[in-house]
C-alpha cells in the first residue's frame, strides 16, 4: 500500500485552531474529542487520499482540489487538499456551511 507524506500548510493549522477554539467556547467537553477525531481523519489521508471526492473549488483552480469531510449534522468541516506525487498538502479547513473558496483565496496556497 502506497503511503503519502501528510503536510498541513500554515493556513490549515490556523483554520483548525480557529475551529477548535469556536467549538471549545460552545461545548468545552466536546472540543478535545472533536479535535482528536479530526486529526485522526487527517492522518487517514496518509494511506488513501484518493477516496475523497473533488471539492466544489476544484473547478476554479489548478491543481486538483479534494475534500475530506469530518463531523455530523451541522458540525461538518471540510479539509481541502491536493495530492502531489507522494505528498498530501492540506491547504484549508472550513466549516461545510461556509461558501466555497474562490481562486483568489487559493492564490497563495497553490
Q: What is the dihedral of CA 20, 26, 29, 30, to 10 degrees?
A: -60
- Non-local (6+) Cβ contacts of 107 within 8 A are none
pLDDT digit string, tens, across residues 70-95:
988 888 999 999 999 999 999 999 99
Fold assignment, 5-106: YaeB-like fold (3.30.2310)
Three cell numbers, residue 32? 478535545
Q: What is the DSSP string of 6-23?
A: EEE-HHHHHHHHHHHHHH
Three cell numbers, residue 40? 485522526
DSSP state of 62: S
Entry pTM: 0.90
The answer to whether residue 44 scores a pLDDT higher than 90 is yes
Amino acid at each position: 500500500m502506497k503511503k503519502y507524506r501528510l503536510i498541513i500548510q500554515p493556513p490549515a493549522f490556523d483554520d483548525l485552531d480557529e475551529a477548535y477554539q469556536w467549538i471549545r467556547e460552545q461545548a468545552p467537553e466536546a472540543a478535545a474529542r472533536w479535535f482528536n477525531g479530526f486529526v485522526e481523519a487527517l492522518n487517514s489521508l496518509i494511506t488513501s487520499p484518493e477516496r475523497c471526492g473533488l471539492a466544489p473549488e476544484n473547478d476554479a483552480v489548478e491543481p486538483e482540489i479534494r475534500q475530506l469531510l469530518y463531523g455530523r449534522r451541522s458540525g461538518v468541516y471540510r479539509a481541502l487538499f491536493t495530492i502531489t506525487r507522494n505528498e498530501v498538502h492540506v491547504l484549508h479547513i472550513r466549516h461545510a456551511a461556509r461558501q466555497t473558496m474562490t481562486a483568489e483565496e487559493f492564490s497563495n496556497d497553490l
